[in-house]
Amino acid sequence: MNHSEPTPEPIFQKRQHDFALLENTFRRKANQISILRLSIFLAGAALAGWFFYNGENTFGFIAVLVFYFAFAFLIRIHNRLQYNQEHNRILSQLNAEEITRLQGNLSAFDDGARYQDNQHFYTSDLDVFGRHSLFALVSRAVTVSGKNLLASWFQKAAGKPEILTRQAAVQEILNDLEWRQQLEAKARHYKRKTDHLPDFLNWLAQPGFFAERKWLLVLTFLLPLVTVSALAWWYLDQLSGYVPGGLAFVQYMFHAKFKQAKDEIQEKSEDLHKEVSGYVSALEHIESCSFKSEKLQQLHGKLYLNNIPASASIKRLASILDYLSATQNVYLNLLVNSLLMWDFFWLWRLDNWKKTSAALFEPAVLTLAEVECLASLAAFQFANPAYAVPEISDLPFEIQASDLGHPLIFVSERVTNSFATSGAGRSLIITGSNMSGKSTFLRTVGLNMVLAYSGAAVCAKQFKAYPMQVFTAMRTEDNLAESTSSFYAELKRLKMLLELTEKPEPVFYFLDEILKGTNSKDRHLGAVALVKQLHKRQASGMVSTHDLELGNLENEMPGAVKNYSFNSKIEGDKIIFDYKLTKGICGSFNASKLMQLMGIAIDEA
């Protein structure tokens, strides 16, 4: 991996430009239809008015109908053009975002900060979530469910079989850039920030509105028929106007009586309507494709219930929710709920949908979420074609890495390293001067392990790893609320590691300057004791330190401890770092020179 590694940036630039041109084309057409629509409206109004003015009422009504349907037809065309305009704007934006990521600017993306947890085994120390994070770099998920699932993939390693099936699925859609971006764009039309899904699923599991009101269901169909018939008889002067008026009043009173129950349902439906609409087009996109990989075939199969596709079922739900929310308009509410028992009719349709199709809803949403995650991993690999698909080892504690780099350090600044380790009870002691790259190297290895265990490509020429529980103790801080010093916080973190390694699952740890909050003698004694204790458990890992004496463990524990280092050299007033991992203990330190450069007078005598 070097500065000349291939990049798909020209592809993204061309697509950004092409979709921007299409956006402008559809905008121009939509504007033309708007002008034509206004002309039709004015011409229809003028012609109908002329007919009515001259007593040609029949021709007047015909003119109204003809121009109304022409106007409605143009509205449909205009809406379709506006959708295409917005769709191409989104596609252009997606490609602009890919370019932004390649340039190393992640500030505009969802960084997953809500998933941060300082008590997690590794996510805080490895920048998995938060500012300039792995989540911001990788995630292309749009739905809240998709983001949640991808976060869980980064929070917990998958087993080897699952990793391999994810890898195969990613490889299948890797080069189908058009399909992946269309999926993301379709979902973005109805982008939501709030997760209403758990509440909605709970509501779907509850009894329907008519479960205990079957008598009301009879009136739902009977009253509108009687009311409209009475209205027709009144119009023909065959019935007093008090009759249809009284029937309309009765209908409205039923709506008033059950207003609270209806409002609760309508409130939920209004929140979810746009989200459900977004699911439809994305699911249709997935359903229209035939897949070869085992994972994607399984996911595709989950989108059908009794041979009915999830998109069609959820489209019906979206339509029901749309009609149900139509009475938010006060005047329409007064009209249709006084004549047609409108809300009750659509609540009945909703009850029927819950009985026949609710079982498909959650699997469909979770399937879409998983496809979004796989598409995110594919997009990440497509944007970084030099990255390697990791091999998942069967040899306990094995890690082999060639030209391994930090994925959040972008190409112009990235330095890569190679190393290998295997077997339980192994510790790599990494010494080095200040700012030489020790901590960054630990994060490099850890973050690439997180990527590998999620099914993603890694920032390396070659990478092989055995599935393990990653654990870090790197950024322990004071907690004023709990009156906890950084030293005590670190001890609590190390206790968590010891408890974790009492279990049979393999653990790979990354410890950065452990016990730095105490004096050098206690720090050394504690570090030696910890390494020896971990040596006897199902654990291996890396320990970075300034304590050169810790390197003596290589002689004391041959084969179990290996020394590596990062070095620097001083040339005049400059400290030069190469950030390259070297075997052996560090032979150069720069603290005194750094202090001199900061203006602190050091007596070198």
Tell me how far CA of residue 248 lies from CA of 262, 328, 334, 376, 587, in angstroms.
19, 19, 10, 54, 93
Task: For 245-300, write each residue's pLDDT tens digit.
Answer: 998 898 888 888 888 877 777 776 666 666 677 788 999 999 999 999 999 999 99
* The amino acid at 527: A
Cβ contact 426:562 at 8 Å: yes
Average pLDDT, the chain: 87
At 604 the pLDDT is 56
- Tell me what the mean pLDDT of segment 55-63 comes to: 89
Number of CB atoms found within 10 A of residue 479's CB: 14
Share of residues in the chain with pLDDT > 70 (%)? 89
At 307 the pLDDT is 83
pLDDT level of residue 593 (50, 70, 90 thresholds): very low
Q: What is the distance of C-alpha 99 from the center of its chain?
A: 19
At 516 the pLDDT is 72
DSSP one-letter string for 388-456: BPPEEPSSTT-EEEEEE--TTS-TTT---EEEEE-STT-EEEEEE-TTSSHHHHHHHHHHHHHHHHHT-
Task: For 508-552, write each residue's pLDDT tens digit.
Answer: 999 998 877 666 788 788 889 999 999 999 999 999 988 888 888
Q: Who wins on pLDDT, 114 or 331?
A: 114
At 8 the pLDDT is 94
pLDDT of 561 > 80? The answer is yes
At 532 the pLDDT is 93
Asked which of 103, 138, 158 is the last residue of a domain, the reply is 103
At 495 the pLDDT is 93
Task: For 421-476, write each residue's pLDDT tens digit.
Answer: 999 999 999 988 777 789 999 999 999 999 999 999 999 999 999 999 999 999 76
123 in a domain, yes or no?
no
163 in a domain, yes or no?
no
Element counts in the chain: helices (H) and strands (E): 19, 14
13 in a domain, yes or no?
yes
165 in a domain, yes or no?
no
Asked which of 81, 103, 125 is the last residue of a domain, the reply is 103
- 488 and 397 inside one domain: yes
d(CA 47, CA 70): 14
- 343 and 403 inside one domain: no
- 318 and 437 inside one domain: no
- 9 and 65 inside one domain: yes
Over 319-380, what HEC string results? HHHHHHHHHHCHHHHHHHHHHCCHHHHHHHHHHHHHHHHHHHHHHHHHHHHHHHHHHHHHHH
d(CA 373, CA 366): 11
Count: domains in the chain: 3
Question: 399-404 and 417-421: which strand pairing?
Answer: antiparallel
- 294 and 344 inside one domain: yes
Task: For 116-164, write each residue's pLDDT tens digit.
Answer: 999 999 999 999 999 999 999 999 999 989 999 999 999 999 999 999 9
Q: Who wins on pLDDT, 573 or 280?
A: 280
At 257 the pLDDT is 85
d(CA 369, CA 533): 42
At 198 the pLDDT is 74
- 497 and 453 inside one domain: yes
Identify the three-state secondary structure at position 12.
helix
Asked which of 383, 403, 421 is the last residue of a domain, the reply is 383
- 450 and 496 inside one domain: yes
d(CA 431, CA 567): 9
- 363 and 448 inside one domain: no
At 149 the pLDDT is 96
Share of residues in the chain with pLDDT > 90 (%)? 56
CATH code: domain of residue 519: 3.40.50.300
At 321 the pLDDT is 81
185 in a domain, yes or no?
no
- 351 and 403 inside one domain: no
At 485 the pLDDT is 66
**Range of 285's domain?**
197-383
pLDDT of 237 > 60? The answer is yes
139 in a domain, yes or no?
no
End-to-end CA distance of the chain: 45
- 433 and 539 inside one domain: yes
At 354 the pLDDT is 86
At 323 the pLDDT is 84
At 449 the pLDDT is 98
d(CA 374, CA 170): 6
- 371 and 427 inside one domain: no
Is the alpha carbon torsion for 532, 533, 537, 543 positive or negative? negative
180 in a domain, yes or no?
no
605 in a domain, yes or no?
no
- 431 and 543 inside one domain: yes
pLDDT of 3 > 50? The answer is no
- Tell me what the mean pLDDT of segment 172-188 comes to: 95
